[in-house]
Structure 1
Amino acid sequence: MFDKRLVQEGRPVWRYLLLTVGLSMGIAFLAVAQAWFVSRVVAGVFLEGATLRTVWNALCTILGIIVLRAVLQCVSEISAHEASSRIKLSLRKRLMNHIVSLGPVYARGERAGELITTVVDGIESLEEYFSKYLPQLVLAVGIPLLILGFVFPLDWKSGLILLLTGPLIPVFMMLIGKLAEKKSLHQFQDLSWMSAHFLDILQGMTMLKVFGRTKDQVRVISRVSESYRKATLSVLQIAFLSALVLELLATMSTALVAVTIGLRLVYGTLSFSAGLFLLLLAPEFYTPLRTLGLNFHAGLSGVNAAGRIFEIMDQPLMGIDEEAVNKEGDTLKIRREHVLSTDFHLSFQNIKLTYQPGSTLALNGINLSLHSGEKIALVGPSGAGKTSLAQLILRFIEPTAGEIYVNGGLHRTISLESWREQIAYVSQSPYLFAGSIEENIRFGGPSATIEEVMTAARGAAAHEFISQLPDGYQTQLGEGGTLLSGGQAQRIAIARAILKDAPLLILDEATSGLDSESEHYVQQALKRLMLEKTALIIAHRLSTVRQADLIVVMEQGRILEQGKHEELMRKQGLYYRMVTEYRGGSI
């Protein structure tokens, strides 16, 4: 199984791969030399009456060849594994960078467990492809040709038998290749699906327990595991069958060579030493072909995994190219500048957005301006497009139609790195990484001192509860911040945003999950923080919305109305209905 694109991954380590093949060819040459010395020693002892003294040098040479072959074999394997390790490292880093660059929108559309299987197990399966299968693909041609170069001058009949029977093994491998490929692909897909579903169960354990559906999911896992077991057995059956056939072909071919040599030895048309030399070379001729057959399934697993890896890496990235193209097709150079560090103007012009071709518009004809220092609140029912608008600013997605301008220039001509450095974002469900509280807050400012971290925590009303923890800021959090309540996790996320001190704030339900007292402190902190900042606030809290310079009311991807609170209440439109229908300060 030869995959051109996968083979190209070996270019950076071609020296290691070349060394592996070269050493293996050297080992094959030494095997020929060893066979020649052995045949001379045996013929000398049994036919010519040679003594130990006369064959001593030959025996020492044979011993030296055996030791040298072992050393070369060891170096060859080290070189092969070094090559495969470097390829895996490079590919895993590029794949992870690509997935991260694709952003949260792509990740939400995929099953996390399946992606984990691809990044971990999928790339790991390339180990044997590069360390064993790919070098063996070359050796399966090179070593037989090397041996034929010694056999034909000595006995063309034996050489002809080897030449005619040798290709039977690759032909057989080609015949079973398609069947084996389908079985192996099915096995990898089942493994990915099982990993994905198992992760879903772990993440949804609370809901499964509450709704009493644990046994149902266990049965699903059992069915998937059974499917994976059957797929694995199918692959193993083909592997065992092919190994048996390959062994049979090699054994029968070697026996055929032995019979023809034996007959000619009986009739005296071939010398004993030459016949023994040929008999010793026959297994060496078929060994690389048999080894290729044994590694064929490992190579096939690598190719199938690579198919999924390249499928992910072929997903187009948005907004990270060195060049952008405007509507007229002109090439625009990417800018690396802090455009939000001074007075700026962010403008949405006739923005339309769909997440999938042909699907309903998530945003439809959005025209909106955001000036430096303004606080704009986005309100509306669920699914109105508020978060989609925030994701456009963060450039997690690109508009299907329309353009976003910053200070009159195209938004997408600014490099992602420099753009996102100027934005702080707090989502409705912030994620905390496994690590200390200090490390999680420090995401907003990697070079911040502990005093700055604590100041940010105080601003987010988080310092008090952090100080009460046994290890304070060094308290280790579980995955997703499992040791903290929802409100506490939200305050840690707000502390990150405060520490980042970015000129543009995007607050997506930033005060949700807080009790009244904490919300009061956080609201005051955010109010002070936003005095010299520009803020886009997605909120349901009436107290948060009323502070905004402009309230934008959205529904079904459109802007229905905009204005200040009093102005919108006088219009008695959607905003008025939302305020009057809901109670408890939420809209």
Structure 2
Amino acid sequence: MTSTGLALLGAGLVVGQADLLAGLLADGFAGQGAHSGGLVALAAVLALRALLAWARGALAQRAAAEAEYALRERLAARLRRTGPHRLAARRHGETATLLTRGLDALDPYFTGYLATRAACAVVPLVVVGWLWWTDWTSALIVVITLPLIPVFGALVGMHTARRTARQWRLLARLGGHFLDVVAGLSTLRAFGRERHQAEVVREMADAHRRATMRTLRVAFLSSLVLETVATLSVALVAVPVGLRLSAGELDLRTALVVLFLAPEAYLPLRAAGAAFHDSAEGIVVAERVFAVLDEEEPAAARTGAVHVPAVGPVPVPDVRTARLCLDAVTVRRPDRATPALDDVSLTVHPGEHLALVGPSGAGKSTLISLFLGFTCPGAGRVLVDDVDLAALDPDAWLARIAWVPQRPHLFAATVADNIRLGRPDATDAEVRAAARAACADGFTEALPRGYDTMLGERGTGLSAGQRQRIALARAFLKDAPIVLLDEPTAHLDPVSEAAVTRATVDLVRGRTTIVAAHRGSLLPHADRVVTVHAGVLGPTPTPAAGRPVFS
């Protein structure tokens, strides 16, 4: 409504400017001289048009900023609700490109294309109506030629949309691949493949450059077509007006009004055509964003296997005395024919230390992901003291859990900040105490700046065992009543494994614990050992400590 009102006001000012200017020029040619009142009125109209253009631009910028912020919030919230298993299927680099460079491309769409659409609907109607009242023959020519601009614009625009969609796909692929290459640069260097990947990135960048230049050529062609059609249309109006003026069939003032208003009838359509090409990338990005937002929820959410109350989240029970249960749970993956977990039932009692053993891919990590709430079951329920986990507030539930994944993610921040991830308000003394409990204080204090040493993304600069102990320090600092550990000693050397085992035993004391163990070093400290094999629970072997449970 605001855009339409401003466009209507702008159309009125266009007509007023043309009428005042035509009157002043006609009086001047007639030898009557320019009236000061007319000059003041014309100056006022020009000032109002300038003020209106500024106001429309400011409102468009504000609307663009609000829309981009809202889309980023919705997209980030959707990604937060997406479990790690589903999120892993989407390349992180492409997602980062979409959230940053992609959504920034919506600026021309909101500030240009949408801002001109209201003008396209209002200004030509007002101008043609005034021309019809002033000189109906000229208005008839405008009415006949006016549709040519959107027709030619649509023909070129369809070609531009295809070109722009390909350009965006190449940009997303380039951004995603580049981020993946940077993340794995140390591995590439270890295998001597960094030069090959540099060449791959160079080829992808060149492909994006060529696609961009092709898109720009089409955009320039579109501008040429629209300008040519508009110029010829104005000429079709101007030539008959000039002939009629020479023949004395038309007075000078009327002729000037027609000549001033005719280009204004085509101007909004020409501007919309140019703005469409500027915003074509933003339209492609918006389609991709809404495709992500409209992606289907997990099967449980679609089928109603997990009950989510309509009145809001249920308060989290006292987890220190709560039982954790899987009630006939089945989980299926889109990329696997067999279920990751098949009709699994399990109860973990308060304070119990439960160890899950089984070969890689058996379903241990999926089972832990169910208790975290990252994975929704396709059938069955995850219960916390007879309360469906899906009904609980996810943030409140996760606040009561300390999770140590198999490959913990460390951020490009200081060691202390990485330990503080679960408790940002923790003091330096508490951070040091947590590191000491996790056997991480020795190597941390040996770093150049100790706890203030900056780490690379994913913990670059630390060994696998050191990263694992930083993750355990996070868990010690969080001091949560439930501890979930996903193979904390996997891929570690014997010295690191012994240190992590000692720290883990101290961490789980007095807490409800579920640990997925590929090696047997933690099994003597478990109250119960459960085997997961091919998505079902079965009998448990008893290996020697420190040896793999399954090879």
What TM-score, normalized by structure 2, do the two folds share?
0.92
Identical counterparts, % of pairs: 37
The equivalent residue for 2:459 is: 481
Q: Match of 2:409? A: 431
1:126 pairs with 2:106: yes
What is the deviation of 1:21? 4.5
Match status 1:310 vs 2:310 = no
Q: Does the alignment pair 1:92 with 2:72?
A: yes
CA distance in 2, matches of 1:299, 1:167: 22
The alignment status of 1:75 with 2:58, answered yes or no, reads no
Q: Is 1:116 aligned to residue 99 of structure 2? A: no
Matched-pair contact (CA < 8 Å) for 1:324–1:333: no
What residue identity is the alignment partner of 1:369?
A: T
Matched-pair contact (CA < 8 Å) for 1:320–1:416: no
DSSP 3-state at the match of 2:83: helix
> Where do 1:308-347 residues align within 5 Å?
308-317=288-297, 325=304, 335-347=313-325
- Who is 2:15 aligned against? 32
User: Which residue is 2:266 aligned to?
Assistant: 286
Encode CA deviations 1:122-151: one digit per residue, 9 max, x unaligned. 211211111111121121120011112221
Report if aligned partners of 1:335, 1:413 keep a CA contact under 8 Å in 2: yes
Which residue in 2 is equivalent to 1:255? 235
- Cα 1:456–1:298 change in 2 (3 A) is same
2:338 aligns to what SS in structure 1?
Answer: coil
Counterpart of 2:346 in 1: which secondary structure? strand
Structure-2 residue corresponding to 1:539: 517
Residue 245 of structure 1 aligns with which residue? 225
Distance in 1 of aligned mates of 2:178 and 2:77 = 25
Letter matched to residue 202 of structure 1: V
Contact 1:507–1:536 (8 Å) recurs in 2: yes
Helix, strand or coil at the partner of 2:402:
strand
Q: Show the counterpart of 1:462.
A: 440
* 1:347 alignment partner AA: C
Q: 1:140 to 1:325 in 2, by over 3 A?
A: same
Query: Letter of the aligned partner of 1:138 in structure 2?
Result: A
Please tell me whether residue 370 in structure 1 is matched to residue 352 in structure 2. no
Deviates more, 1:354-363 or 1:116-125: 354-363
Structure 2 contact 300–376 (Cα < 8 Å) conserved: no
Greater mean deviation of Cα atoms: 92-101 or 167-176:
167-176
After TM superposition, list the pairs within 5 Å mapping 1:502-521 onto structure 2: 502-512=480-490, 520=498
Equivalent residue letter for 1:428: Q
Match of 1:13 in 2: none
Q: Find out whether 1:551 has 2:529 as its counterpart.
A: yes
Distance 1:432 1:130, change over 3 A: same
- Letter of the 1:50 counterpart: Q
- Unpaired runs of 5+ residues, structure 2, are none
AA at the equivalent of 1:204: G
* Segment drifting more, 103-112 vs 344-353: 344-353
Query: Structure 1 residues 91 and 348, CA, compared in 2 at 3 Å: closer, same or farther?
Result: same
**CA separation in 2, counterparts of 1:79 and 1:334?**
36
8 Å contact from structure 2 (residues 455, 461) kept in 1? yes
Mapped contact 1:19–1:79 kept (Cα < 8 A): no
> Distance in 2 between the 1:44 and 1:330 partners?
77
Structure 2 vs 1, CA of residues 498 and 316 (structure 1 numbering), >3 Å: closer, same or farther?
Answer: farther
- In structure 1, the gaps of 5 or more residues are 1-17, 563-567, 570-575
SS in 2 for 1:360: coil
In the alignment, the residues of structure 2 paired with residue 332 and residue 42 of structure 1 have an alpha-carbon distance, to the nearest angstrom, of 70
Please tell me whether residue 416 in structure 1 is matched to residue 394 in structure 2: yes
Compute the RMSD of aligned alpha carbons: 2.8
**8 Å contact 1:505–1:535 — kept in the other structure?**
yes
Structure-2 change in CA distance of 1:155 and 1:228 (3 Å):
same
Mean Cα deviation higher: 538-547 or 469-478: 469-478
Kindly state the Cα deviation for residue 324 of structure 1 after the two structures are TM-superposed: 10
Pairs within 5 Å for 1:223-238: 223-238=203-218
* Residues 336, 418 of structure 1: 8 Å contact kept: no
Is 1:446 the counterpart of 2:434? The answer is no
Aligned mates of 1:482, 1:205 — CA distance in 2: 10
For residues 320 and 492 of structure 1, what CA distance do their matches in structure 2 show? Answer: 35
